[in-house]
Structure 1
Amino acid sequence: MVTKLNFSGPCTAKILIQLEGQIVAPPKAGWKAGLIWISIEYVNGLTIDGNNKGILHGQGPSWWQCPTCNRPVMLFFHSCNGLNVRNLRIRNSPRSHISIIMCDGATFSGIAINSPATSPNTDGFEIARSRNILIEDSYIKSGDDCIALNGGSFFVNATRVTCGPGHGIRSGASDQVSNIHVRNCTFIGTTNGARIKTFSETDVSVSDVTYRRFTGTSASDVAIALKCSHAGCFGLLFDQNNIVSAQPGKKTSSSCINAHGSARNTIPSVSCLK
């Protein structure tokens, strides 16, 4: 039972933290830790190894019935460079499970995140103002985005990530986001697969996006929806995609607003591209 943990540098020594048991947060009624449960700041070269048996329990069910409450993040990394987190299990966060802010060079591998589809705003990972982030060989079950990429996210790679339930992998910001690569990932029962979302009042431009070798089924008749602002989306490429209806015999379709690009060998046809 841990009320709050805060590791704060500056620190440049190579530190290894091994978790071999369960760390349990207090429930909402006993919460006194503010908006972050476990905080690590200004610590470079840190390795956290859960050894596939280290578990963080967030006591999320005691929070989820209060949508207006300021619910806390479970694991928060701020200004940590050369970070390595592996073989860790995280369950039932009140809000986001892992938050990464202003970090350069971080690898997360073998992470198992598990919260129900009904848990509100429980992003698996939320990333902002960070670069050179790798998330690999991980499983994310949540009630919100599996990975949320916010403003200032550059060179982020998600590889062999299984997502679902949840909202998929989402990039959305009023600030710049670029060089995002999602490869060999699986989405099961998610509301979206790959989604780029911008704030409607900002007219953010979206450009140079490739969707290649997406295969699967869609619960919606519209499997590919491109709703771009007046600023438009440019340089879109759809290549070797095959998304069919989850209902046998039904056809899927696409829709476009202010979308410019090309498509080849893609089902459904994206002939609406300009």
Structure 2
Amino acid sequence: MTSWVATSVALALCITVASAADVWNMEQLEQAKKGKDPVIRVRDIQVPAGRTLDFQGLDGRIIEFHGRVTFGYKEWSGHLIVIKGKNIKVLGMKGHSIDGEGHRWWDNCGGNCGKKKPFMIYTQLQDSVVYGLRIKNTPAWCFAINECNHVHYYNIHIDNRDGHTKGGHNTDGFDVHKSRNIRIYNSRVNNQDDCLAINSGWNIVFENNVCEGGHGIAVAVGGYDVNEAKNILIKNCKVIKNNIGIRVKTLLNGRGIVDGVTFENVELKDISETGIVIIGNYLNSGPRGEPTGGIPIRNLNIKNVRGNVLGNGTNIQINVAPGSPSGWTWNSQVKGGKKNPKCKGTPGNLKDPCNW
């Protein structure tokens, strides 16, 4: 833990002894936001259907979650929790649970069809800490990290394992967009979509995390108002029983850039489809057609990515527009499954990873 984060959490725990507002319902929350208590303790709130647990206008304050937070059922496309501001500490206290009871929305098609499903938590933060949250059964996407700067998310558990048998889909763990200087670490995600999806951002670190059951760790660029991902580090992570291990995917006919993505010391275990995927022809409905080079992938570093793919899976898939990528380095040991006959578009300085 970096020193400023450790100091922030220590100060938060000290302040909670001093002055805090206990909040048991939405009306008390609005009163607490108008007050001056440095700590807001959320206790066993039942959020009414179609309402947002709204933490805005709380710069410099601490939000603690105690007990069980639940939400009424409604088909809508809003956010169940919104946290915006500067210098905010969000702390999950011992024994708490934020339970979306997602089975009420799950219908095997997530955001693509069927019921309208709300986001779980939207964050737009600066110089802040989100620590220790225990989140269960999100209706669809869990964390939206949007336009954040200098924020640490750590010791967070997202448990959507019930969705494997009850129709969970698009239950992304962390979605990052237009954010800078973000660290996500010492966390665990069990879900039915990307553990991490970086759509755009700069100086993002995803470290010491465990991803189970979903679609792996992805840098997925294209189709948004900003299509740029630079200086991304995914390090010391485990990807267990996902369909994909790690991937960089850029939108077919998209425009933008991916520069400086590093996967270092990533362990893959029992991957069902493909261990490593690098493609330039991504669409939401799946890869299609010949890859385009409008979003070049530069300075990609694969360092000690290792593990196994199950019998009918594929070790490595690379399909990018020839001449668009550059400056790649590659060191992987992915066993099992089957090999592609040839990677397509790999930079000329690199031996074909598909045939190592």
Same topology, TM > 0.5: yes
* Backbone CA RMSD of aligned residues: 2.2
Tell me, in whole angstroms, the C-alpha distance in 2 between the residues paired with 1:20 and 1:146.
25
Q: Deviations over 1:217-268 (max 9, x none)?
A: 01255311111135632222112x211106xxxx64574111115558xxxx
Unaligned runs of 5+ in 2: 1-45, 255-293
- Which amino acid is the alignment partner of residue 19 of structure 1? F
Corresponding position: 1:22 with 2:68: yes
Contact conserved, 2:150 with 2:182, CA < 8 A, in 1? yes
Cα distance, 1:16 vs structure 2: 1.2
Q: Deviations over 1:3-56 (max 9, x none)?
A: 2211223x54x21111121101113xxx27751111122x11111111242211
Tell me, in whole angstroms, the C-alpha distance in 1 between the residues paired with 2:345 and 2:186.
36
User: What residue in structure 2 maps to residue 149 of structure 1?
Assistant: 198
User: What residue in structure 2 maps to residue 47 of structure 1?
Assistant: 89
User: What residue in structure 1 maps to residue 307 of structure 2?
Assistant: 216
Inter-CA distance 125–172: structure 2 relative to 1 (3 Å threshold): same
Please identify, of 197-206 and 59-68, the stretch whose mean Cα deviation from structure 2 is larger: 59-68
SS of alignment partner, residue 177 of structure 1: strand
Unaligned runs of 5+ in 1: none
Tell me, in whole angstroms, the C-alpha distance in 2 between the residues paired with 1:74 and 1:129.
19
User: What residue in structure 1 maps to residue 126 of structure 2?
Assistant: 81
Contact conserved, 1:237 with 1:261, CA < 8 A, in 2? no
Tell me, in whole angstroms, the C-alpha distance in 2 between the residues paired with 1:254 and 1:190.
23
Corresponding position: 1:232 with 2:281: no
- Structure with the larger helix share: 2
Q: How much identity, in percent, do the aligned residues show?
A: 24
- Which amino acid is the alignment partner of residue 187 of structure 1? V
Contact conserved, 1:235 with 1:261, CA < 8 A, in 2? no
Tell me, in whole angstroms, the C-alpha distance in 1 between the residues paired with 2:152 and 2:61.
15
Inter-CA distance 17–2: structure 2 relative to 1 (3 Å threshold): same
Q: Which one has a bigger Cα radius of gyration?
A: 2
SS of alignment partner, residue 257 of structure 1: coil
Tell me, in whole angstroms, the C-alpha distance in 2 between the residues paired with 1:66 and 1:216.
29
Match of residue 179, structure 1, among 192, 217, 231: 231
User: What residue in structure 2 maps to residue 56 of structure 1?
Assistant: 98
User: What residue in structure 2 maps to residue 128 of structure 1?
Assistant: 177
- TM-score if structure 1 supplies the norm length? 0.86
Higher RCO, Cα 8 Å, sep 6+:
1
Cα distance, 1:186 vs structure 2: 0.2
Contact conserved, 1:124 with 1:140, CA < 8 A, in 2? yes
Match of residue 94, structure 1, among 139, 143, 146: 139
Tell me, in whole angstroms, the C-alpha distance in 1 between the residues paired with 2:221 and 2:333.
28
SS of alignment partner, residue 82 of structure 1: strand
- Structure with the larger strand share: 1
